[in-house]
Structure 1
Amino acid sequence: MPRVELSTGVGIHYETVGAGEPVLLIMGTGADHSLWNDTAKAYAQRFQVITYDNRGPGRSDHPPDPEQYTMRLLAEDAADLLDTLKIDSAHISGLSLGSAVAQELAINHSGKVRSLQLHCTWGRTDAWLARLFEGMRYPLDHNDMAMFVRTAFMWVMSPARLNDQPAEVAEIERAYLEENPYPPSKEGLIGHLHADLTHDALDRMDRIKAPTLITSGEMDWQVPTRYGREVQERLPGSALHVFSGPYSSHMAFVEMAEEFNRLTLDFLGKHAA
């Protein structure tokens, strides 16, 4: 499988599919690139899609020091990956933590960003979000990975899915913990939560020049829509789309995949050369 050693000092696993203008997909806290698989398949009909494991999860390196995980450092990994692949610029799409990484990439490497998608995004970690992230860290501090996964799924999945499909969700949790060939590491998860806790880009949003689509879900409990609106207010000309309905969760890209793909492919098409 493709792996590169970046100048930032970490080894990164990545995959590409499709042909056309490049689209870089950046995943969220503690998750590897495979969560993008269905999205990448849909995009690959028109674009070259690059997915990768951030430092921390999957097959990329897991630095043990939480200080080695900040949004700026994760964004430098993304920029260096594009350079290594000899891609001058790409359409950038980030989800949750990935959206914060995408913000830093667009702020500090504006020439690399053709268009920007920020899904389930926020611009600065306030006291409410800090308590949420600290609560997610608690089971990791007590070596209870099963409770971390259970808690994380509660935040990111819709209540409708959890209530209507309990057996399916339980099986996903079990397989994630017991059959995952690249299980999450405690160090990587704590590192990502450190990046979440220290994220602060709101006052630098005016440095983002790329056309930007922001999405949120009315049933997203982890990063409520008010945070996406706050980012939009700092980005003149950006568009905000709020998914609605019982499955409009933090994982709307999975639970509402058809609408998500239609919306985002339309945005990409408008900004492709």
Structure 2
Amino acid sequence: MPTITTDDGVKLYYEETGSGSPIVFVHEFAGDHRSWEPQVRALSRRHRCITYGARGFPPSDVPPDASSYSQARACTDIRCVLDGLGIDKAHIVGLSMGGFATLHFGLTYPERALSLLIAGCGYGAEKEQSAKFRGEADIIADRLRRDGMPKFAETYALGPTRVQLQNKDPRGWREFADQLAEHSAEGSANTQQGVQKERPSIFDLEEGMKKITVPTLIVTGDEDWPCLIPNIFMKRAIPSAALFVMPNTGHTLNLEEPDLFNRAIADFVAQVEAGRWPMRDPRATIESITGVK
């Protein structure tokens, strides 16, 4: 079983397919390395596609102590994957929890990123939602430890931004929910309390985001309500960012609309590799609608 070992001794399982410029996929809380299968099948025809399981998500190690999990650690684990596979730079694609890690990777290791695709990123980021989100992380962790993963998955897979997948693709949703039920309750609980609960708000990262020059694409579904305002904020803060909104789409957007999502990645990466991804024209930031000062 292929693994890389992080600098704090945790083994992360990975898979790689194809050749060409590398794309590293960073999964969400309700997903794992398998969640990127529609992307790997399409994009490995031209790229070296790498998926891996975050710490706490078997077959990666499940550290028993929540202190082994954090937003900074999730970011550093991406770098450890690159180091372990001998990759200098890669396109980094992350969804939700993985989108937060991708954003932090761009802030911390910009020299290691060819591009950043940040999808479904923003849950709990709004200041008025912070206390509620932190409280929900504790509730989720308690339920995971008390009831186990299969029972938790029955309800979590039917959240208000997941039902869109069920409505469009019942078979795909069933596979998603079944895979979620196979996760480690301990690892998921520790992830909730170490990563999700303690991560900083996107709105506190504005000054750092203003300095990002790595080509960036922000992707959200228009029915992923908690992410809409944070995504607009990131678009405005990051001078190298574009915003792509997928219509009638929820949170699990790479599974819900795989063809549209794959085209977005492919077009984005092609523009980056052709040297055609722009920085924002300063004239586009003038507050007057007409451009008159």
TM-score greater than 0.5 by the shorter chain: yes
Letter in 1 for 2:159: W
Alpha-carbon displacement from aligned partner over 1:166-221 (angstroms, at most 9, x marks no partner)? 687567645653xxxxx322221122223122222523223422110000001114
Which ranges of structure 2 fall in alignment gaps of 5 or more residues?
275-293
Distance 2:170 2:64 in 1: 34
Query: What is the correspondence of 1:153-164 to structure 2 with a 5 Å cutoff?
Result: 153-155=157-159, 158-162=162-166
Question: Is the contact made by 1:19 and 1:46 (CA closer than 8 Å) also made in structure 2?
Answer: yes
Closer, same or farther: CA 224–150 of 1 in aligned 2, 3 Å: farther
Query: Is 1:225 paired with 2:228?
Result: yes
Letter in 2 for 1:113: A
Closer, same or farther: CA 6–155 of 1 in aligned 2, 3 Å: same
Distance 1:56 1:205 in 2: 28
Letter in 2 for 1:193: Q
> Greater shift after overlay, 164-173 or 100-109?
164-173
Distance 2:189 2:49 in 1: 28
% identity of equivalent residues: 28
1:241 to 239, 244, 248: 244
Closer, same or farther: CA 168–259 of 1 in aligned 2, 3 Å: closer
Letter in 1 for 2:36: W
Question: Is the contact made by 2:165 and 2:172 (CA closer than 8 Å) also made in structure 1?
Answer: no
Distance 1:98 1:141 in 2: 23
Query: What is the correspondence of 1:8-47 to structure 2 with a 5 Å cutoff?
Result: 8-47=8-47
Closer, same or farther: CA 111–130 of 1 in aligned 2, 3 Å: same
Alpha-carbon displacement from aligned partner over 1:28-63 (angstroms, at most 9, x marks no partner)? 114210001111111101110111001111211111
Which ranges of structure 1 fall in alignment gaps of 5 or more residues?
178-182
Alpha-carbon displacement from aligned partner over 1:107-153 (angstroms, at most 9, x marks no partner)? 11111001110001129463425524643652541422344213321
> Greater shift after overlay, 187-196 or 236-245?
187-196
Closer, same or farther: CA 114–149 of 1 in aligned 2, 3 Å: same
Closer, same or farther: CA 39–130 of 1 in aligned 2, 3 Å: farther
Instruction: Provide the secondary structure at the position in 2 that maps to 1:198.
Output: coil
Q: What is the match of residue 149 of structure 1?
A: 153
Question: Is the contact made by 1:130 and 1:197 (CA closer than 8 Å) also made in structure 2?
Answer: no
Q: TM-score, normalised by structure 1?
A: 0.87
Q: TM-score, normalised by structure 2?
A: 0.82
The number of aligned residues is 265
Query: Is 1:210 paired with 2:214?
Result: yes
Letter in 1 for 2:185: K
Closer, same or farther: CA 102–146 of 1 in aligned 2, 3 Å: same
- Answer with 1 or 2: which has the greater Rg: 2
Closer, same or farther: CA 267–130 of 1 in aligned 2, 3 Å: farther
Q: What is the match of residue 180 of structure 1?
A: none
C-alpha RMSD over aligned residues: 2.4
In the TM superposition, what is the alpha-carbon distance from 1:17 to its structure 2 partner?
A: 0.4
Letter in 2 for 1:184: H
Closer, same or farther: CA 147–92 of 1 in aligned 2, 3 Å: same
